[in-house]
Amino acid sequence: MTAVQATFGQRLGEAIDARGPLCVGIDPHPALLHAWGLEETPAALERFAMTVLEAVAGEVAVLKPQSAFFEAYGSRGIAVLERVVAEARQAGALVIHDVKRGDIGSTMTAYANAYLDENSPLSADAITVSPYLGYGSLAPALGIAAQSGRGVFVLARTSNPEAVGLQRSSTSEGTTIAQSIVDAAAESNAGASPMGHVGVVAGATIRSGELDLSELNGPVLVPGLGAQGGTVRGLRSVFGSALPHVVPAVARELLRHGPSAEELRSATRRMRDDLSGMTGR
């Protein structure tokens, strides 16, 4: 494995300072393909992804391809995903693979190597992971990420209704499951500057004050703006003092402006500027 000098926290901070905090999701959902006048084929998948890259890769700090929509096309879809990673980097954007992997032992290590090892063709700058086999099960991914200068975003408090019963449940210490994940991530980030390599995922539509992020010392990936009901203005009330570390992720709200690359770029710039003004970056 090849280690890199700059940490993920450093690189993410620099990217946000240069381009603002917006993260654009690349989600080639079948409904979006159809809305763009495309069929559900590998060639259409590639056209969709390359159009998004053409429009926004040079405009935003972070791109977040949803791996499942590429995996659905088998090896040809994975080849498109590899191209997305390569061309996004060439345009200066960081890449977060939205893979939500969560397993134990050697299997978690294999997942981490697939997505975080510099020598892997799918290697991204960060991945999303699920801690619901226990936060300790993520140790291989956390270690490989730290060694290679990459990051992980741990699902903490997602906005889907199915998650409420589990994530708001109380631990034996009296905190919620979601808060216990934030606290564990904070321990992983202790002493890092300007911020650690372990982020959390928290939906834009969660309740204000539901999570205490004051000690996290890491980024907060926030999906749910636009189509899912979250608003730019609402970010301040939900995330408060953690707002400078918030990375809002938007997909459908922007992708609906395709297939015109020009219209997609214009919508992205508007959203980016709105978010930069709200977060003060």
Which residues are tagged catalytic?
Answer: 100
Neighbours of 5 (CB within 10 A): 6
| Nearest-5° Cα angle at 67, 65 to 70 | 100
Q: 58 forms bridges with which residues in the sheet?
A: none
Burial class (CB in 10 A: 0-12, 13-18, 19+), 164: middle
Q: 95 forms bridges with which residues in the sheet?
A: 63
Q: What gap in Å lies between CA 254 and CA 1, rounded to an integer?
A: 36
Q: How far is CA 117 from CA 85, 124, 195, in A?
A: 13, 8, 21
* HSE of 189, CA atoms in CB hemisphere, 13 A: 30
Virtual torsion, Cα 58, 62, 66, 67, nearest 10 deg: 90
H or E element that contains 130 = none
Q: How far is CA 11 from the centre of its chain?
A: 14
Q: Which residue has the tokens 């000690």?
A: 215
Virtual torsion, Cα 162, 208, 248, 213, nearest 10 deg: -100
- Cα Rg of the chain (Å, integer): 18
Q: What is the DSSP letter of 129?
A: E
Q: What gap in Å lies between CA 270 and CA 281, rounded to an integer?
A: 15
